[in-house]
Amino acid sequence: MKHGGFSESLLRCAVWGGALLASPLLLVAGGPAHGRFMRHLCRDNGPGLFDKQRGWVHPGYWVVMNPLVLAPAWPTRRGGLLPAKAVTT
Neighbours of 56 (CB within 10 A): 14
End-to-end C-alpha distance for the chain, whole angstroms: 47
Per-residue pLDDT of the chain (89 residues; tens, 9 = 90+): 555 667 778 888 888 888 888 878 777 788 888 888 888 888 888 777 877 777 778 877 777 888 887 787 777 777 665 555 555 55
Give the integer Cα–Cα distance in Å for 9 and 1: 12
pTM confidence score: 0.59
